[in-house]
Amino acid sequence: MSKLLAGAAREIITPPVGGRLYGYRPDVYSKEVHDDLTVTAVALESDGVRALLISITVCLLNTDLATNLRKAVGKATNIPWRHVIVSATHTHSGPCTAGETGWGEIDTEFCDQILFPKTIKAAKIAVSSLRLALLGVADGESRVGINRRELTIHNKVTLGQNPWGCFDPTMTVLALREPDGKPIVNMIHYGAHCTACGLNHEITRDWAGPMIDRLEAETNALTCFFNGAEGDVGPRLTNGRTVGNLAYAMELGGVAALDAVSIYRRIREYRDASLVVKTDQVRLPYKPILDLETAQREYDRLHRQDAVNITLRTITYYKNIIDAYQSGLPKDTHFTYEQTVLAIGPVVFLPFPFEFFSEISLRLRKASPFPHTLCLGCTNGDQGYLPTEDQLCRGGYEIEMFKTSGVQTLTDDADYHIIAEHRRILEELKCTE
Task: Round to whole Å and give the CA distance between 305 and 363.
Answer: 43
The count of other CB atoms within 10 Å of the CB of residue 326 is 8
Handedness of CA 139, 144, 145, 151 (dihedral sign): positive
3-state secondary structure of 109: helix
Query: Structure pTM?
Result: 0.98
Buried b (16+ CB within 10 A) or exposed e, 43-58: bbbbeebbbbbbbbbb
Chain-centre distance of CA 211, in angstroms?
17
CB 423 within 8 A of CB 429: no
CB 219 within 8 A of CB 183: yes
Using alpha carbons only, give the angle 172, 173, 178 rounded to the nearest 5 degrees: 150
CB 173 within 8 A of CB 260: yes
Looking at residue 367, what is its pLDDT? 97
Task: Round to whole Å and give the CA distance between 259 and 326.
Answer: 55
Looking at residue 433, what is its pLDDT? 66
Count of helix runs (H) and strand runs (E) in the chain: 10, 20
Which backbone phi and psi does 66 adopt, to 5 degrees?
-60, -45
Give me the DSSP letters along 395-422: --HHHHHHHTSSSS-B-TTHHHHHHHHH
Looking at residue 60, what is its pLDDT? 98
CB 192 within 8 A of CB 227: yes
**Where do the H-state alpha helices sit in 227-308?**
246-264, 292-302
> What one-character DSSP code corresponds to residue 288?
P
Task: Round to whole Å and give the CA distance between 324 and 60.
Answer: 27
Looking at residue 43, what is its pLDDT? 99
CB 236 within 8 A of CB 146: yes
CB 148 within 8 A of CB 233: yes
Task: Round to whole Å and give the CA distance between 60 and 234.
Answer: 16
Looking at residue 1, what is its pLDDT? 64
Chain-centre distance of CA 273, in angstroms?
25
Which backbone phi and psi does 157 adopt, to 5 degrees?
-90, 130
Return the bridge partners of 282, or none.
337
3-state secondary structure of 314: helix
Which of these, 287, 282, 283, 284, lies nearest to 411 by C-alpha position?
287
CB 28 within 8 A of CB 20: yes
**Tens-digit pLDDT profile for residues 73-95:** 999 999 999 999 999 999 999 99
Return the bridge partners of 347, or none.
344, 372
Give me the DSSP letters along 359-397: HHHHHHHHH-SSSEEEEESSBSS---EE--GGGGGG--H
Instruction: Going residue by residue through the chain, which has 433 residues, state the pLDDT in tens, using 9 for 90 and above.
Output: 689 999 999 999 999 999 999 988 888 999 999 999 999 999 999 999 999 999 999 999 999 999 999 999 999 999 999 999 999 999 999 999 999 999 999 999 999 999 999 999 999 999 999 999 999 999 999 999 999 999 999 999 999 999 999 999 999 999 999 999 999 999 999 999 999 999 999 999 999 999 999 999 999 999 999 999 999 999 999 999 999 999 999 999 999 999 999 999 999 999 999 999 999 999 999 999 999 999 999 999 999 999 999 999 999 999 999 999 999 999 999 999 999 999 999 999 999 999 999 999 999 999 999 999 999 999 999 999 999 999 999 999 999 999 999 999 999 999 999 999 999 999 999 887 6
Task: Round to whole Å and give the CA distance between 64 and 59.
Answer: 15
**Where do the H-state alpha helices sit in 9-93?**
63-77
Handedness of CA 416, 418, 419, 424 (dihedral sign): positive
